[in-house]
Amino acid sequence: MHQTASCSTLVDAVAVRRNAHARTIRIAAVLFITALTAAAAQFSIPVPFTVVPFTLQPMVVLLGGLALGAKLGLASQSLYLMAGIAGLPVFAASATLPPGALRLLGPTGGYLLAYPVAALLVGYLAERGFDRRYVTSVLAMAVGLLVIYTSGVTWLALFAMGPVQSAAIGFQAALTAGVYPFFVADLLKLLAAAGILPGFWRLLGPTRIL
Kindly report, residue by residue over 94-144, the tens digit of the pLDDT: 777 888 899 998 888 999 999 999 999 999 999 999 999 999 999 999 999
Q: Is the pLDDT of residue 24 over 50?
A: yes
pLDDT at 62: 97
The residue-averaged pLDDT of 62-66 equals 97
Least confident of 28-32, 120-124, 152-156: 152-156
pLDDT reading at 42 higher than 70: yes
Q: What percent of the chain has pLDDT over 90?
A: 59
Would you say residue 166 has pLDDT above 60? no
Statement: residue 205 has pLDDT above 80: no
Q: Residue 45 forms beta bridges with which residues?
A: 54
Contact 140, 125 (CB under 8 A): yes
pLDDT confidence of residue 160: 63
State the pLDDT confidence band at 17, using cuts at 50, 70 and 90. confident
Q: Do 129 and 181 meet the contact criterion of CB atoms below 8 Å apart?
A: no
Three-state helix/strand/coil letters over the chain: CCCHHHCCCHHHHHHHHCHHHHHHHHHHHHHHHHHHHHHHHHCCECCCCCCCCECCHHHHHHHHHHHHCHHHHHHHHHHHHHHHHCCCCCCCCCCCCCCHHHHHHCCCHHHHHHHHHHHHHHHHHHCCCCCCCHHHHHHHHHHHHHHHHHHHHHHHHHCCECCCCCCECCHHHHHHHHCCCCHHHHHHHHHHHCCHHHHHHHHHCCCCCC
Q: Check: CB of residue 33 under 8 Å from CB of residue 76.
A: yes
When pLDDT is cut at 50, 70 and 90, the band that residue 92 belongs to is confident
The pLDDT mean for the chain works out to 87
Mean pLDDT check: name the lowest of 1-15, 20-34, 133-147, 177-191: 1-15
Give CATH for domain 4-204: 1.10.1760.20
Distances (CA, A) of 15 to 7, 10, 203: 10, 9, 15
